Structure 1
Amino acid sequence: MTVSSKPGIARNASPYLYGQEAAAVARILASGQYGHSDVTEEFERQIAAFLGVPDAVAVASGTAALHSALLAAGVGPGHEVVVPSMTFCATVQAILATGATPRFADIDPATLCVSDQLVMEALSPATAAVVPVLFGGRAIDLSAVQGELDARGIAVVEDAAHAFGSRTGTRRVGATGALTCFSFGPIKNLTCGQGGMVIPRTPQEADTIRRLRLLGVTQSQNERANTTTYRVDGFGLRYQLSGINAAIGLAQLDHFTTTEHTRRSLWHTYRDALAPLDGVRLVDVDADHAVPHLCQIRVARRDRVFAELRSRNIAVGVHYPPNHLQPAFAAWRRPLPATEQAGAQILSLPFHQHLTEKDIDRVVAALGQAIKSAGDT
């Protein structure tokens, strides 16, 4: 039984707890291991086992995961990083934090994701990395151009904040060979309350990220307890994941099969309910392989439809305003016609595990009314 509130359609997204999370946190509080602890390392081991990878490195957030991964891939000042403009601003801020600059790429209108062709078109002589965003949970396959990227020394750092549990073929995202970054924020497919994870490609990358997350200190907490000194080898940050957050993540992981099934079922329910509506285009997340994070549509007169639905207490949202149009990133603006058109049309419908089929029917009925009303004004 869930212990979460049941916000229905009045929330666009909402955490979902299974009931064991509070007890797991209570055990950590009783143990006194509030910070990075053995529980954090157990969370890393279980995530690695779930994905079928040799290692996983827990960090404080999805943004910390991206920043650490880019640094481990050697990205820094003077470099450009190819990234879709259609993403949360955290992706771009992580690039800027390395001293590199973004080179915005356009998207496939059907998926809101970059494609291999669009990535190649965006490359420049200064490109050091590509950050494909697995938007809405959809996995991206760059295997057709991976050889060319490798030959140019360009790293692929996946922003899989939306895509924990999604698959490419038979493999989970994170097990496909890219340097992959997950977010375990409050409304993600798996939550730690706040947290992130990097799936390194090599033991060297894992070691680098572990040093980065602990202020450049080379010894673990247990190792430091048995010595009178410690060694700082280089730059680092306070990016560790606390035992409290890791305990929540472990409890969530125990129920991920249910999460996966529920989110796919909700997305398919929306798909079937939306099919009769004129003027609505559902953004395809490949839900047979993805664990959907968003349910998005494209509509004309989006802002009017948004206002109509909000007036009916239906919590629609917009994920996301294109970054290349943001004032902070104006220096790297370039024409991105597909992104700009999508940015004016996309609408995120309420999507979380508290929803019922009745809730979805209410959303879709109200959407039909809102589209008609928007067209009449």
Structure 2
Amino acid sequence: MMNSSRPDARRNAGPYLYGREASAVAQVLESGQYGHTGVTEEFERRIAAFLGVDDAVAVTSGTAALHTALLVAGVGPGDEVIVPSMTFCATVQAILAVGATPRFIEINPVTLCVDHQLVLEAVTADTAAVIPVLFGGRAVNLGPIHCELEERGIAVIEDAAHAFGSYDGTRHVGATGATLTCFSFGPIKNLTCGQGGVVIPRTSEQADMIRRLRLLGVTQSQTERATTTTYQVDSFGLRYQLSAINAAIGLAQLDHFDSTVETRRRLWCIYRDALGPLEGVTLVDVGPQTAVPHLCQVRVHPRDQVFQEMRSQGIGVGVHYPPNHLQPAFAPWRRALPVTEKAGQEVLSLPFHQHLTEDDIAHVVAVLGRAIETVRAERHIGRLA
């Protein structure tokens, strides 16, 4: 079959570079200082200033951010962590990495996020933390129960991997009072470092603990260690420092982030308007007025056949995400989650990145419409046979 897809519709997601990233990396390489340097610290200051928070601690990835946040919150063996099953497996792996167990909960069928009532219903005597996942960029407001959770010793650790730049009310995600907030700056995120992440602490004590953890438990900074014959290790730690190379990419991206926000919101709204006339297709609303959309997803049935038909036409559709409670590795914590399982069978991610044009989006939606018609016709013929 001839592939008539537009080039930028062939991939589901991808980074968008503004042109300064390469020169910023070149400056770091020319300096001969590639590890954690003042460039990384400048990136942390810029992130904190953007979000309107006191501090931000950069680490190697979003997964590292979650792992570190759980350690700082004191979560460990014997503890349960409430988490939606509809998330990338990294969220669950971070829970297992500290020796805790996931308690999978349902999602709101409209937003694909958790809400406060679902969280409260899942709390047990073993609950040590809740990880609300800000799916697709939508903020999750646990304000109605936040104080209650903290009074019971339950940490709220936001998985905001999709939501850098999004707002919760009038404040940026990360500045809204969670115990800790974790961002990812991987290759396809709204802001990329190539690979990286950030933890937003609420207190200076948390910030100090994160900085020790990310440097193998060493108390002295790299600058301080250069002026002494020894150093001190006073706790368990990991090698989670963000390199100056990655931080330089992030700094260049931050210079243009307002443009990123405008473009991603505009593209999402173009999709919304184009998808409106299609029957049997429901757009997952991320709330673009306050969110910086990370995904553009629809719910369609039968999803798997539509997926295959669109891929055969060269359209880079994807699935975010297969429910984790159905994964073999997480089978010990499997429970019935019918809302999540239905979403897991219907959600389809359309190509969404900043290289798309309005014509690309029109093409994707046209192929989606034809794919639905083709699949349904084939199923009708099959029933008659």
TM-score (structure 2 length as normaliser): 0.96
What is the one-letter code of the residue matched to 1:31?
S
Distance 1:113 1:369, change over 3 A: same
- Distance of 2:147 and 2:42 partners within structure 1: 35
- Which residue matches 1:342? 343
Work out whether 1:259 is the aligned partner of 2:256: no
- Which residue matches 1:296? 297
How far has the Cα of 1:234 moved from its partner?
Answer: 1.0
Q: Deviations over 1:102-128 (max 9, x none)?
A: 000100000000010111111111000
Contact 1:40 1:246 in 2 (8 A): yes
What is the one-letter code of the residue matched to 1:278?
E
Q: CA RMSD in A?
A: 0.7
- Which residue matches 2:173? 173
- Distance of 2:285 and 2:123 partners within structure 1: 26
- Which residue matches 1:209? 210
Pairing 1:116-127 to 2, within 5 Å after superposition: 116-127=116-127
Q: Which secondary structure does the structure 2 equivalent of 1:83 belong to?
A: strand
Work out whether 1:281 is the aligned partner of 2:275: no
What is the one-letter code of the residue matched to 1:230?
Y
- Distance of 2:321 and 2:7 partners within structure 1: 22
How far has the Cα of 1:147 moved from its partner?
Answer: 1.7
Q: Which secondary structure does the structure 2 equivalent of 1:344 belong to?
A: helix
- Distance of 2:109 and 2:261 partners within structure 1: 26
What is the one-letter code of the residue matched to 2:209?
T
Q: Deviations over 1:111-150 (max 9, x none)?
A: 0000101111111110000000000000000001112101
How far has the Cα of 1:49 moved from its partner?
Answer: 0.3
How far has the Cα of 1:228 moved from its partner?
Answer: 0.7
Q: Deviations over 1:286-323 (max 9, x none)?
A: 11100000000000100010011000000000000000
- Distance of 2:238 and 2:146 partners within structure 1: 31
- Which residue matches 2:43? 43
- Distance of 2:281 and 2:348 partners within structure 1: 10
Q: Which secondary structure does the structure 2 equivalent of 1:215 belong to?
A: coil
- Distance of 2:177 and 2:212 partners within structure 1: 22
Q: Which secondary structure does the structure 2 equivalent of 1:199 belong to?
A: strand
Q: Deviations over 1:248-278 (max 9, x none)?
A: 0000000000000000000000000000000
- Distance of 2:147 and 2:120 partners within structure 1: 12
- Distance of 2:308 and 2:286 partners within structure 1: 25
- Distance of 1:218 and 1:157 partners within structure 2: 25
- Distance of 2:15 and 2:374 partners within structure 1: 32
Q: Which secondary structure does the structure 1 equivalent of 2:133 belong to?
A: coil
Contact 1:8 1:355 in 2 (8 A): yes
- Distance of 1:186 and 1:278 partners within structure 2: 34
Contact 1:192 1:246 in 2 (8 A): yes
Q: Deviations over 1:337-371 (max 9, x none)?
A: 11000000000000000000000000000000001
- Which residue matches 2:68? 68
- Distance of 1:48 and 1:7 partners within structure 2: 37
How far has the Cα of 1:74 moved from its partner?
Answer: 0.7
What is the one-letter code of the residue matched to 2:265?
R
Contact 1:44 1:58 in 2 (8 A): yes
Q: Which runs of 5+ in 1 are unaligned?
A: 1-5
What is the one-letter code of the residue matched to 1:140?
V
- Which residue matches 2:383? none
Pairing 1:12-161 to 2, within 5 Å after superposition: 12-161=12-161
How far has the Cα of 1:7 moved from its partner?
Answer: 4.7
- Distance of 2:86 and 2:23 partners within structure 1: 38
- Distance of 1:314 and 1:308 partners within structure 2: 9
Q: Which runs of 5+ in 2 are unaligned?
A: 1-5, 379-385
TM-score (structure 1 length as normaliser): 0.98
Q: Which secondary structure does the structure 1 equivalent of 2:146 belong to?
A: helix
Q: Deviations over 1:74-124 (max 9, x none)?
A: 101110000000000000000000110100010000000001011111111
- Distance of 2:7 and 2:58 partners within structure 1: 30
Moved over 4 A (4+): none
Q: Which secondary structure does the structure 1 equivalent of 2:206 belong to?
A: helix
What is the one-letter code of the residue matched to 1:185?
G
How far has the Cα of 1:170 moved from its partner?
Answer: 1.2
What is the one-letter code of the residue matched to 2:92?
V
Count of matched residue positions in the alignment of Structure 1 and Structure 2? 372
Q: Deviations over 1:17-61 (max 9, x none)?
A: 000000000000000110111100000000000000000000000
